[in-house]
Amino acid sequence: MRTLSYMQAIAEALILEMRRDPHIYIAGEDVGKFGGAFGVTGPVFKEFGPTRVLDTPISETAIIGHAVGAAAAGLRPVVEILFMDFLPIATDELCNQAAKIHYMFGGQVSCPLVVRTAIGAGMGAAAHHSQSLEAWVCHIPGLKTVAPATPADAKGLLISAIRDDNPVVFLEHKMLYATKGEVPEGDYTIPLGKAEIKQEGKDVTLICYSAMVRQCLAAGALLEKDGIGAEVLDLRTLVPLDKEAILSSVAKTGRAVIVHEACRTGGFGGEIAAVIAEEGFATLKAPVKRVCGPDTPVPFSPVLEAEFIVSAPKIAEAAKSLL
Is the pLDDT reported for residue 292 higher than 90? yes
**Domain 3-182, CATH homologous superfamily name and number:** Thiamin diphosphate (ThDP)-binding fold, Pyr/PP domains (3.40.50.970)
Contact between residue 52 and residue 103 where contact means Cβ atoms under 8 Å apart: no
Closest CA to 311 of 294, 296, 288: 294
Look up 129 and say whether it is catalytic: yes
Is the pLDDT reported for residue 263 higher than 90? yes
List, in order, residues 6 or more apart from 304 with CB less than 8 Å away.
Answer: none
pLDDT for 9-45, tens place per residue? 999 999 999 999 999 999 999 999 999 999 999 999 9
pLDDT at residue 88, rounded to an integer: 96
Confidence of residue 137 (pLDDT cuts 50, 70, 90): very high
Q: How far apart are CA 166 and CA 192, in angstroms?
A: 11
Q: How far apart are CA 234 and CA 209, in angstroms?
A: 5
- What single-letter amino acid sits at 217? L
Looking at CATH, the fold of the domain delimited by 196-321 is given as Rossmann fold (3.40.50)
Is the pLDDT reported for residue 76 higher than 90? yes
Among candidate residues 23, 66, 129, 139, the one labeled active-site is: 129
Q: How far apart are CA 171 and CA 145, in angstroms?
A: 7
pLDDT for 139-188, tens place per residue? 999 999 999 999 999 999 999 999 999 999 999 999 999 999 999 999 99
Is the pLDDT reported for residue 85 higher than 90? yes
What is the percent of the chain where pLDDT is above 90?
99
Is the pLDDT reported for residue 1 higher than 90? no
pTM: 0.97
Closest CA to 146 of 279, 235, 215: 235
Buried b (16+ CB within 10 A) or exposed e, 62-79: ebbbbbbebbbeebbbbb
List, in order, residues 6 or more apart from 132 with CB less than 8 Å away.
Answer: 84, 119, 120, 121, 171, 210, 260, 261, 262, 293
How do 114-119 and 168-173 pair as beta strands?
parallel
Q: How far apart are CA 61 and CA 57, in angstroms?
A: 10
List, in order, residues 6 or more apart from 323 with CB less than 8 Å away.
Answer: 203, 204, 228, 255, 286
Domains 3-182 and 196-321 share a fold: yes
State phi, psi for 27 to the nearest 5 degrees: -145, 145
Average pLDDT over residues 272-287: 98
What ranges do the domains of the chain cover? 3-182, 196-321
- What single-letter amino acid sits at 243? K
Confidence of residue 113 (pLDDT cuts 50, 70, 90): very high
